[in-house]
Structure 1
Amino acid sequence: MTAIANALTALVTGATAGLGAEFARQLAEEGHHLVLVARDAGRLRATADVLERDYSITAEVLPADLADDAGVAAVVERLLDAARPVDVLVNNAGIGLLHSFEKNGVEDEKRHLKLHVQTPMELCHAALQGMLRRGSGRIINVASVAAFATRGSYSAAKAWQVSFSRWANLAFAPRGVKVTALCPGFTHTEFHDRMGMDKGVAPGWMWLDAGRVVREALADNNRGKAVSIPSKRYKLVSAVARILPASLTAGPPKKPLPASGSRPNGDAAG
């Protein structure tokens, strides 16, 4: 089947798993060509082949580790390529750390901070150059409802994404670029499995469907909303979290490391 002519192009990070894969699928369904970014080249190619077959779009693969400066530079270069404009940027790649801040290795914490703050900042900055020049564009930063709580460095990093997206939407929406922070709660994806997290810590009603999360995020971004919180239950949770004392939103302490200290703290999305 022939690819859609004159379609817009979306770049999605962490595109082979979880919300990133669902963003790629729904954007392809809407007719967007894709640039798929993740570390696993084989999995990227397999994902691209399926999307090209099912939706008659083109899917470019860009293997990159976004916790590495060289990987980030490769994606920045692609975003700055004026001959191949990117119209939609989805900053989705990230990791979760299973243990409390003082028990995590500092290198894990630095990687975590880079993936959730520095990398999306750099990619937003690069994408905005062309978007503002053209007077149109869309950016979605995948944050978390944890941004409204006090849950260690993860909440802090996601709070940065929310604050930045609020400001960027105010600054750039009048110039044609819509910026949205997506703040889902617990969502059925590979993210928690990769962390090694026990999903039983959250009751069934707290779990969201990835398809719904992405549909609401794309709709909210299209409407120009700076923050997208999927589902009424999490809108309520986030509203309550903002007025509760920090001691209550911090939640129970994380379990200590096993004696061996060898359990992994998670992996980059995609």
Structure 2
Amino acid sequence: MRSKLFVPGSRPELFAKAAASQADALSFDLEDAVDPARKDEARSQLGRFLATPGEHGKTVVVRVNAIDTPHFQADVEAVLQPGLHILNLPKVESPDDIHQVAQLLDRLERERGRQQPVGILANIESPVGLRRATAIAAAHPRVMGLQIGFGDLLAPLGIRQRHPVALDQTRWAVRLAAAEAGIAAYDGAFVDIGDPDGYVEDARAALALGFSGKSCIHPSQVPLANQVFRPSDEELAHAVRVERAADEAAAQGVGAFVVDGKLVDGPFIVRARQVAELGRRLGLI
């Protein structure tokens, strides 16, 4: 998911429009974007939309309300529909939170005869959540990624949203936690919609630390994320050359070799295969 477009769950007039966008994923929100007085209405509208899987080919994510709120279980019950792929769990602070959600999903999927399990995208957006990120990432096979919630993490602490030290250290910690569990890390939102250059700079900083994609709170940010997290033509060509050379080297019992004037061995082969696979998924190879 290079780009994940934010869609308020209380705005059904935007659902089809978002589905027609160029975003890799749609992130419907039942949490902060929905006024408490409209929670019931929003979950009902979103549940009906998800009841019939769309033909848009996008990954569908729903951010429910936090596990300690009175809205959580009703949210999950409403949106566990055929069109849902990933449940985005906000304010995760322990592996126990993940286990509780997984148990609820197990029960609902069994009762509804769902064969494909719903994944969990865990938001890291508090000091304790950040400290326990590694345990959260590895808590259950359903956890497919960690996502940073910069606003909830930084604002209550009086830390400026774009402070480079705060951003870099948070990204580093979350990226390594996700890597240890073998899952993806996704960057949080960039709230200044009128600063596309700032969005690109922010996204490139996340890309440099190995993040897989970034949230988009406005459709104008979607093409920016898609471009930043798209491997360049040069990177794709190099990856394919490494793949071919690796296959030839393996057939000859050789572990290290040179491609484009650079020494290539184990970790570089793994990365090249990852880049090539992403290129194939995006239809670039």
TM-score w.r.t. the length of structure 1 is 0.37
Structure with larger RCO (C-alpha < 8 A, sep 6+): 1
Larger Rg: 2
